[in-house]
Amino acid sequence: MSARRIFARPARLAAIAPYVWMVLFFLVPFGFVLKISLSQTAIAQPPYEPVFDLMAGWGALKAAFAALSIDNFRLLVSDDIYVFAYVRSLTVAVTATALLLLIGYPIAYGMARLPTRWQAVAMVLVIVPFWTSFLIRIYAWINILQHDGLLNQILLALHLVSQPVVWLSTDSAMYIGIVYSYLPFMILPLYATLAKMEPVLEEAASDLGAPRWQVFWLVTFPLSLPGVGAGVLLCFIPIVGEFVIPDLMAGSNALMIGQTLWLEFFTNKDWPVASAAAIVLLVVLLVPLLLYERLQKRQLEQGR
Amino acid sequence: MRKVSRLSRFNVVSLALGLAFLYLPILILVIYSFNASRLVTVWGGWSLRWYHEFFNDRAMIEAAWMSLRVAVSSATIATLIGTLAAVALSRGERFRGRTLFSGMLYAPLVMPEVITGLSLLLLFVALNAERGFWTVTIAHTTLTMCFVAVVVQSRLGSLDRSLEEAAMDLGCDPVRAFVAVTLPLIAPAIVAGWMLAFTLSLDDLVIASFTTGPGSATLPIRIYSEVRLGVKPEINAICTLVIALIAVVIVIASLASKLSSSQGESAAPL
């Protein structure tokens, strides 16, 4: 016990370097996002009116405070483009997460029922594609889905369609891309809870006469809810802010918020509006983020 | 009583379909990178033509070199700092600011990359830092050290702490006990953390796009701008090379961790 406490002191010192790093490069930058979201757009480099200049003294600071404006936020709620983008981001994220759950659950369930020796192999097989680059995996699907790509060739050869189907630049292509990229994030937490489950519980239910679907709905699924929660959050939060997949695979008529932020920043060079969009996105995601933090903390620290 | 086999037909089918879904697209990409035809979809026989093309594409090679340097440096820094963070969280008991600390470490794991990228860029602009290699490296370190911390922390959490305590009862000071006992035992997780950081950095498009400067594009930035213009066989070749590189890293690292974990096991009873 005392050894544990003596060990703790230098361990706490180990926090200093990462602490400073994260405050400097994670926390402080949000301050800048907030600051610039409240400043005026300017045609300059960098393209915003400076808000604070600490060297300029009190008077200037007061003037700067007076000049703070919420115009950018007012723009975000009044302009339909942004409102639509937020609504679309949430719709896409909900739909994609539901699809991921529907597709990921049977796979995770199958993994958990493999003989123990094979479970480790299956886990490696699920993780390996996640190691190969994300952009490459999207590109692989663009190859398959393009006008004269493999999918259309197969469909034509089987006479399922009479002419090539347009896949790219549609929402279906985007959903395929999202499901493909995020599937390991859904499968792994599901598998972790399903593998820990006592098989005796399911056996007891079926011994007592419950048909299979009832065993699943009344026993297996409720017990796997922690894994469902982790998988859903792990997919939902980043999908809301996703940029690359909708940009490369969906049509350009309806944008997600990650895309409008990117557009404002890189194309329109409107940094204040992009910053305001980021703040709104952060606020939208605050509750799921906090839920995720609690889950992660409990999971990593339950051994203590 | 009916004794059902644990693995139903439904289980087998969903597993097989799932794995096919995960692997077929990558397999197709690799095969087509050896296609002699300029048309991506028409098979013209085996050829190394597109690899040749890639090695003559200077801009692409420079971007690949930049990505490799960023990935190695950021993964190394991230592994150092991330391991320290994991040690503090799993062995530091309670300390002031702990909740904020763990909050800052877990948030970037799911934080949309557009937010992280934009906020770091605004910081670099405010600091008047010249954007390029170092800004991208710092940005990637910030993201990937969180993954390292989680991987190492979960390993530390599953370790038997009586080993460290025994070492200290036998007269080691905490630092010595950590270096002699804990460090060898968590080495596989540290290696895995480095690998994860390396591949995440090699892979990142969004954060790099925000934080890099003119003239120092990374490989994903180059690939992205090419892909936007359409599918090109040369990209298939580059992607295959990246996949091969990552596969080599995985194999080396898993061999290394197997070696060190078997050492750790044999050392433990002594």
User: Is the residue at A188 inside a domain?
Assistant: yes
Say if A138 falls within a structural domain: yes
Question: Is residue A111 situated within a structural domain?
Answer: yes
User: Rounded CA gap, A125 and A111, in Å?
Assistant: 11
pLDDT surpassing 60 at residue B1: no
Domain that holds residue A170: 75-301
Tokens 């980043």 correspond to A238
The whole-angstrom distance between residue B225's C-alpha and the CA centroid of its chain comes to 23
Alpha helices in chain A (DSSP H): 2-13, 16-22, 28-37, 57-67, 71-78, 80-112, 116-131, 134-145, 150-157, 171-196, 199-207, 212-215, 221-223, 225-240, 244-249, 257-262, 271-284, 286-301
What 3 state SS string does A7-48 have? HHHHHHHCCHHHHHHHHHHHHHHHHHHHHHHCCCECCCCCCE
pLDDT band at B258 (very low <50, low <70, confident <90, very high): low
- Give the model's pLDDT for residue A208: 86
Higher pLDDT, A238 or B249: A238
Domain assignment present for residue A269? The answer is yes
Is A87 among the domain residues?
yes
Q: Is B107 within 8 Å of A26 when comparing Cβ atoms?
A: yes
The span from the CA of A179 to the CA of B60, in Å, is 29
Q: Residue B24: which domain range?
A: 9-47
Structural domain count of chain B:
2
Could you give the number of structural domains in chain A?
1
B147 with B155: CB under 8 angstroms? Answer: no
Peptide bond preceding A46 in cis form (omega within 30 of 0): yes
Average pLDDT, chain B: 84
Question: What confidence tens digit (pLDDT) does each residue in A120-145 have?
Answer: 888 888 887 777 777 888 888 888 88
- Residue A269 has what pLDDT? 85
B3, B10, B15: best to mutate for the A interface, most A CBs within 10 A: B15
Look at residue B4 and tell me if it is in a domain: no
**What are the phi and psi torsion angles at A166 (to 5°)?**
-85, 110
Q: Which residue has the higher pLDDT, A233 or B263?
A: A233
B177-233 pLDDT, tens digit per residue, is 888 888 988 888 898 889 889 988 988 999 999 999 888 899 999 989 888 887 778
Residues of A in contact with B107 (CB under 8 A): 26, 289, 293
The average pLDDT across A76-89 equals: 83
Task: Over range A228-236, report the average pLDDT.
Answer: 92
Query: Which tokens belong to B183?
Result: 């460090």
Based on the domain organization, do B150 and B16 belong to the same domain? no
Q: In chain A, pLDDT over 70 holds for what percent of residues?
A: 89
Q: What integer best gives the mean pLDDT of chain A?
A: 83
Cα-based distances in Å from A224 to A181, A184, A191, A196, A227: 23, 17, 9, 9, 5
B67 part of a folded domain: yes
Q: Are B21 and B100 contained in the same domain?
A: no
Q: How is residue A298 written in tokens?
A: 């409990």
Res. B57: pLDDT tops 70: yes
* Number of cross-chain residue pairs from A and B with Cβ atoms under 8 Å apart: 285
Residues B149 and B38 in one domain: no
Q: Specify whether B102 is located in the same domain as B22.
A: no
ipTM over 0.90: no
CB contact under 8 A, B28 and A274: no
With b meaning 16 or more CB within 10 Å and e meaning fewer, what string describes B104-124? bbbbbbbbbbbbbbbbbbbbb
Distance CA B32, CA B65 (A): 24
| Rounded mean pLDDT, B32-49 | 77
Q: How many residues does chain B have?
A: 270
Cβ of residue B241 closer than 8 Å to a chain A Cβ: no
Euclidean distance between CA atoms B238 and A152, whole angstroms: 25
Output the pLDDT for position A175: 94
Hey, is the C-beta of A275 within 8 angstroms of any chain B C-beta?
yes
pLDDT band of A63, cuts 50, 70, 90: low
Distance, first Cα to last Cα, chain A: 13
pLDDT of residue A61: 59
Task: State yes or no: pLDDT of A203 exceeds 90.
Answer: no
- B84 and B193 in a single domain? The answer is yes
Integer Cα distance of A115 and B231 in angstroms: 42
B92 and B162 part of one domain: yes
Q: How far apart are CA A135 and CA A117, in angstroms?
A: 32
Report helix, strand or coil for B212. coil
Indicate the pLDDT class of residue B265, thresholds 50, 70 and 90: very low
- Say if residue B41 is in the same domain as residue B64: no
Same domain, yes or no: B39 and B150: no
- Is residue B52 assigned to a domain? no
B253 contacts chain A (CB < 8 A) = no
Please name the amino acid found at residue B87. V
Compare B138 and A295 and report the one with higher pLDDT: B138
Q: Which two tokens stand for residue B141?
A: 């370190």
In this complex, is the C-beta atom of A107 within 8 Å of any C-beta atom belonging to chain B?
A: yes
Q: Min CA distance, B266 vs chain A (Å)?
A: 22
- Determine the 3-state secondary structure of B227 from DSSP: helix
The 10s digit of each residue's pLDDT in B80-133 is 999 999 999 988 878 888 888 988 998 898 899 999 999 999 999 989 888 999
Q: State whether B136 and B211 are in the same domain.
A: yes
Q: Which of A184, A30, A211 is nearest to B115 (CA)?
A: A30
Chain A residues whose CB is inside 8 A of the B123 CB are: 25, 28-29, 32
The whole-number pLDDT of residue B215 equals 80
Hey, which residues 10-39 in chain B have their CB within 8 Å of chain A?
A: 10-12, 14-15, 18-19, 21-23, 25-26, 28-29, 32, 39
Tell me: pLDDT of A232 over 80.
yes
- In percent, how much of chain A has pLDDT > 90? 21
Quick one: pLDDT band at residue B259, thresholds 50, 70, 90? Answer: low
Note whether A177 and A144 are within 8 A (CB): no
Which residue did the predictor score with more confidence, B230 or A272?
A272
Q: Does some domain include residue B256? A: yes
Lowest mean pLDDT among A240-254, B23-37, B38-52: B38-52
User: What CATH number has the domain bearing residue A82?
Assistant: 1.10.3720.10
Predicted confidence band at A302 (pLDDT cuts at 50, 70, 90)? Answer: low
What pLDDT, on the 0 to 100 scale, is given for residue A304? Answer: 41
pLDDT at B269: 29
How high is the pLDDT of residue B267? 35
Separation in Å, CA B81 to CA A26, B150, B158 = 14, 12, 21
Residue A68 scores a pLDDT above 80? no
pLDDT computed for residue A58 by the predictor:
62
pTM of the model: 0.86
- Bridge partners, residue A41, by sequence: A48
Q: Is A22 on the interface with B (CB under 8 A)?
A: yes
* A49 vs B50: which has the higher pLDDT: B50
Residue B257: predicted pLDDT:
64
At residue A196, the pLDDT reads 84
Q: For the residues A189-213, what does the mean pLDDT come to?
A: 85
Contacts with A137 from chain B: Cβ below 8 Å:
25-26
- Give which of B224, B34, B182, B89 is closest to A266, Cα–Cα: B224
**Has residue A4 got a pLDDT over 70?**
yes
pLDDT band at A102, cuts 50/70/90?
A: very high
- Same domain as B43, residue B61: no
For residues A100-125, give the mean pLDDT: 88
**B170 reaches A (C-beta below 8 A):** no
Regarding whether B62 and B43 lie in a shared domain, the answer is no
- The answer to whether residues B118 and B43 belong to one domain is no
Give B51: exposed, middle or buried? Use CB within 10 Å, 0-12, 13-18, 19+: middle
Q: What is the pLDDT of residue B147?
A: 92
